[in-house]
Structure 1
């Protein structure tokens, strides 16, 4: 097998980028009153981001892990990675609660900044472990056809496209974008052109000039 799990790696790349900048934003804004529009925008972004992370690891548990266990058999033990996923959910819930409080108080609580920093560190370690252990197994044991089915299944039950796609595009190289256009045709070319426009306005409100 020689397939490259580019979709998985791009999702990780986008996730880590947002973890860094969301944690940095919260640390910078902690204790500072915000204008209501920005407070609402930051809270909504954090909520969407938590939902995105939850969807990603749920898709791995429900879609990818069974394929790996069937394909790689005794060569794979995903217990530790699945346990990591279970530990993430309470962390995500705390950040959602902090985002809800931000919407009401218009102030980033120090606890929310601390929770985001903790999530950043936890997910970075998890992604490093996952890419070291899972990616070689995908390349060796999962056929191109089966991997395409995995990605198609995850897309069908995917997150919010207006949130996911622009973040993926932001971390894609020129060669990766060209490949996406070739494989996806006109629909993907249109998404690449159109979806980042409103998202950039959203980012400007959330992250300001420091995004």
Structure 2
């Protein structure tokens, strides 16, 4: 079968990028004790909240959509217990970050606790994603048909993702060859999406990070 789960890998790439830059941003602001103005505090808090929702959507979609397909296709060749246990650990971590983001919005200061929680989430997900790509991606490529994988990706897209947040982040980590392939497959509508969707998101990023990175 040897299909390439590019959507999954791009989602991981975007997640790792944001984990690094959100952890670095909050660590710097917490260390400096900077009191932010209302707009910047709200922008950072809103971004962190959307990022937590994105991570929750990703692992919930894996649990509810991808894992059952993979278990049916690969049978005894797959054991998802450890990865599912990792997902269960994530929700309390995300809840702490959401609470820290709410406190930032009202108090205009990044606390050391919020910075520490983001660093912890970054380290946890780095390890989890490495394990997932090492163990799960080869099984998808070997046992899940192209047709079934396309169906999985379509269901996941309808699973509650906030596309105005997800798509620009995916595009930002896509290579030129990946973008060219998307344009070839999607035609003019996808070409327009690639050109236009990132524009408002870059303005949002500038409010959060100070510059687009």
TM over 0.5: yes
1:205 is displaced (CA, Å) by: 0.7
Q: Any stretches of 5+ residues in structure 1 without a counterpart?
A: none
| Alignment match, 1:28 | 28
1:81 is displaced (CA, Å) by: 0.2
Residues 51-62 of structure 1 correspond to what in structure 2 (within 5 A)? 51-62=53-64
Residues 5-84 of structure 1 correspond to what in structure 2 (within 5 A)? 5-30=5-30, 31-84=33-86
| RMSD after superposition | 0.9
1:185 is displaced (CA, Å) by: 2.2
| Alignment match, 1:133 | 135
1:2 is displaced (CA, Å) by: 1.3
| Alignment match, 1:187 | 189
| Alignment match, 1:202 | 204
Aligned length: 211
TM-score of the aligned structures, taking structure 2 as reference length:
0.97
CA distance in 2, matches of 1:59, 1:15: 15
1:32 is displaced (CA, Å) by: 1.4
| Alignment match, 2:109 | 107
Cα shift readout 1:47-73 (whole Å, capped 9, x = no counterpart): 000000000000000000000000000
| Alignment match, 1:118 | 120
1:193 is displaced (CA, Å) by: 1.1
